[in-house]
Amino acid sequence: DAKTTQPNSMESNEEEPVHLPCNHSTISGTDYIHWYRQLPSQGPEYVIHGLTSNVNNRMASLAIAEDRKSSTLILHRATLRDAAVYYCILMGNNDMRFGAGTRLTVKP
Amino acid sequence: ETGVTQSPTHLIKTRGQQVTLRCSSQSGHNTVSWYQQALGQGPQFIFQYYREEENGRGNFPPRFSGLQFPNYSSELNVNALELDDSALYLCASSAGTSGITDTQYFGPGTRLTVL
């Protein structure tokens, strides 16, 4: 039932930027795009969210395509602590539908 | 401000038994959601409660039920346990009812094993 598509896994080198893509071609006009990440043995944690405009916060940036059918989470300088499963989620009702996410590996 | 806590951390039950999992939300958070996460998969939404009323439900049978209390605590009850119920159960609290923009704060989860 997931409405998003993400690569299963990605690798990055420490201190380099990481671009995590997400496709959501069936997004509706009122759906917000949320990103959460789950570190090993922890519950998911909020990263960022947006509707139409690009968003920045202390953790990451979110770039949203003009047609909103895709988005990209950008970690500007990956650290070993960023190794996690990253979930892209559409929220338009009172529930969050997670897909399988992207497992990010950060190499020193 | 304390985070979201869950108890117990781990639990082992046998088929057919009943289980109650507990969650303590962040103070002031009126909304709590429960998720089931099977090994290697993303969390699956079970249901959400707002001010002690069910406010949304995922594709789970009625033997999954919940309660939310005025003191920001909540319970997930599962009756007639099946082997496939073995999973990590997560609760998440949020401050409002909009859902679509509220940040959810997750607990560490309860690992349930059904034998």
pLDDT at position A38 over 80: yes
Chain A touched by B60 (CB under 8 Å): no
Cross-chain CB nearest to A44 (options B43, B44, B48): B43
Please answer yes or no on whether B107 and A96 come within 8 Å at the CB atom.
Answer: no
The two structure tokens encoding residue A76: 């500007």
- Per-residue pLDDT reduced to its tens digit, B4-48: 999 999 999 999 999 999 999 988 888 999 999 999 899 999 999
**E strand or H helix that includes residue B26:** none
The amino acid occupying position B93 is: S
Q: For residue B30, which phi and psi values (nearest 5 degrees)? A: -90, -10
- Per-residue pLDDT reduced to its tens digit, B66-110: 999 988 899 999 999 999 999 999 999 988 765 556 888 999 999
Cross-chain CB nearest to A95 (options B48, B50, B90): B48
Residues of chain A with pLDDT > 70, as a percent, come to 95
Query: How many contacts does A have with B, using Cβ atoms within 8 A?
Result: 65
Question: Mean pLDDT in chain A?
Answer: 92
Nearest to A73 by CA among A96, A106, A50, A91: A50
Mean pLDDT along residues A63-76: 96
Contact A35, A87 (CB under 8 A): yes
Cross-chain CB nearest to B100 (options A32, A36, A42): A32
Q: Looking at the DSSP assignment, which residues form a beta bridge with residue A91? A: A32
Q: What is the 3-state secondary structure (H, E, C) of B8-63?
A: CCEEEECCCCCEEEEEECCCCCCEEEEEEECCCCCCEEEEEEECCEEEEECCCCCC
Chain A residues whose CB is inside 8 A of the B59 CB are: 1
